[in-house]
Amino acid sequence: MGLLQVPFEVHVPAVEEEVVPGEAPEQVPQRLSRIKAAHVAQSVETAVIVAADTIVVDQGEILGKPRDSDHACEMLRRLRGAEHRVLSGVTVMDAATGRCLTALCETQVWMRAMSDAEIAAYVDSGDPLDKAAAYAIQNPTFAPVTRVVGCPTNVMGLPMCHVVRDLRRLGVTLPPTLPTRCKIQTDYRCALTGYVLSGLSAA
């Protein structure tokens, strides 16, 4: 959010991040992001709210945050050397008017073939225990990802192009060079920048 160069506050909504039986993976983060935005809107009057939820999907199964260290190791062993999907739902809401925009961003991620010892050391660091599928793409020591197709900041939990597009649709003034700074910050080439931001004039 600091890349946006606008004032912001962080609010943590007390929302249960549960999956509804029969719900498609693509629906889960969008629904939860709307619930989070609506929850925060109850406590503010004039703010523009950005709420997000991110899940990891491997072979059709949703992987949430690990229950404990053993579960984190299990997840990482499952994902290593293979591809999975990261889905984020982002809701931007004008608390004053109630206008709400929700978008879905999907990224394909390939993990490196990490060893059991590397996984154990990473889990012992505590870093993966509060993250979907037990990893952080931005961790410089563990560096779990070898390839990304799509938005890299989506894997971190907040697809910036989608945020920029929808904030501008709601009338928020933002610097024009954010996508360039986003690429520099993440060190990944984002294939979605032009495609997503080309839809700025859409309602």
Q: Which residues are catalytic?
A: 53
List, edge to edge, every strand of the sheet that includes 61-63. 61-63, 48-58, 83-94, 100-111, 145-149
DSSP string, 113-149: ---HHHHHHHHHTTGGGGSGGG--TT-TTT--EEEEE
CB distance 117 to 74 below 8 Å: no
Please work out, in degrees rounded to the nearest 5, the angle formed at the alpha carbon of residue 30 by the alpha carbons of 27 and 93: 155
